[in-house]
């Protein structure tokens, strides 16, 4: 069931979203050569605590992993697509493509967002990968309007990514969000006719998150049971925003 939010609930989600935005902006500034992903983790958890928010990811149970996630961030580098785990041993290097994904629960409502950060010069292909992925998210956001259908979002991402020579990760998708981190509907970055294609209505909130590979789309999960990587070793990029359907069009809750 898709849960539509009232204007008052959207205002609460806005506060959660802006906190996530603020955390990600600060982490993006910290992400330079020599910094470890654990440094980012510690900083993020402190910011959440100071704001009176609960980490959305830490303690989250995922059946496929068979355990709860232990961190407030997912920090995925280069060929790691999503769910990379912070570590004191993972120090950022020039040329790294770093994905930072995080979420909070504040006053009962969740916010969730992701950015991809270039550590120094990442080369032409990776820079273009990041640009196309970010563009695909912005184009998808423009489709979040009452009366449109979910496939308008999904196909917009797919067409932009594929037309630029990159590939869409199919194993991981976006989602609804509200009082739960993951709600209906699922929001794939591609169109598959067997999937549900609901009409967008005011009060729906969608976490849209293109995950795009420079090479082939195929992914696998490492032996740590969490980290998803590209099978061919190519780099991957990931951006995410939570977007509400309003009578004035799309409202991005996770940026000012």
* Structure tokens that stand for 145 in this block: 């309007």
Supply the pLDDT for residue 114: 99
Domains along the sequence of the chain with CATH = 7-252 (3.90.230.10)
Indicate whether 146 pLDDT > 90. Answer: yes
**Neighbour-count burial for 58-93, b at 16+ CB within 10 Å, e otherwise:** beeeeeeeeeebebbbbbbbbbbbbbbbbeeebebe
% of the chain beyond a pLDDT of 90: 96
CA atoms within 13 A on the CB side of 54: 13
CB neighbourhood size of 28 (10 A) = 16
Arithmetic mean of pLDDT, 185-193 = 95
Confidence label for 44 from pLDDT (cuts 50, 70 and 90): very high
- Alpha carbon 183 to its chain's center: 15
Name the band, by pLDDT with cuts 50, 70 and 90, for residue 61: very high
Using DSSP's 3-state secondary structure scheme, residue 98 falls into strand
Asked if 203 contacts 4 with a C-beta cutoff of 8 angstroms, the reply is yes
- The Cα–Cα gap between 16 and 82 comes to 22
> What band does 196 get if pLDDT is binned at 50, 70 and 90?
confident
Indicate if the pLDDT at residue 195 is higher than 90: no
DSSP code string of 239-256: -BEEEEEETTEEEETT--
Per-residue pLDDT band for 194 (boundaries 50, 70, 90) equals confident
10 Å CB burial of residue 230 (0-12, 13-18, 19+) is buried
pTM for this predicted structure: 0.97
């Amino acid at each position: 069931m898709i849960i539509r939010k009232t204007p008052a609930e959207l205002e609460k989600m806005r506060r959660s979203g802006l906190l996530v935005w603020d955390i990600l902006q600060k982490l993006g500034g910290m992400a330079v050569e020599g910094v470890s992903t654990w440094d980012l983790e510690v900083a993020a958890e402190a910011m959440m605590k100071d704001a009176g928010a609960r980490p959305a990811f830490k303690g989250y149970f995922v059946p496929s992993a068979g355990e709860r996630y232990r961190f407030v961030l997912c920090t995925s580098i280069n060929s790691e697509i999503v769910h990379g785990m912070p570590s004191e041993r993972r120090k950022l290097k020039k040329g790294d493509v770093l994905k930072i994904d995080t979420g909070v629960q504040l006053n009962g409502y969740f916010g969730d967002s992701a950015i991809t950060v270039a550590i120094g010069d990442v080369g032409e292909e990776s820079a273009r990968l990041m640009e196309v992925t970010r563009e695909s998210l912005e184009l998808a956001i423009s489709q979040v309007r009452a009366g449109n259908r979910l496939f308008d979002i999904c196909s917009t991402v797919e067409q932009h990514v594929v037309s630029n020579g990159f590939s869409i990760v199919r194993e991981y998708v976006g989602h609804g969000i509200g009082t739960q981190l993951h709600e209906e509907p699922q929001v794939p970055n591609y169109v598959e006719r067997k999937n549900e294609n609901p009409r967008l209505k005011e009060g729906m909130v969608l976490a849209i998150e293109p995950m795009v590979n420079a090479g082939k789309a195929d992914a696998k999960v490492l032996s740590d049971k969490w980290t998803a990587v590209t099978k061919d070793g190519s780099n991957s990029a990931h951006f995410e925003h939570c977007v509400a359907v309003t009578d004035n069009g799309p409202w991005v809750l996770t940026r000012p």
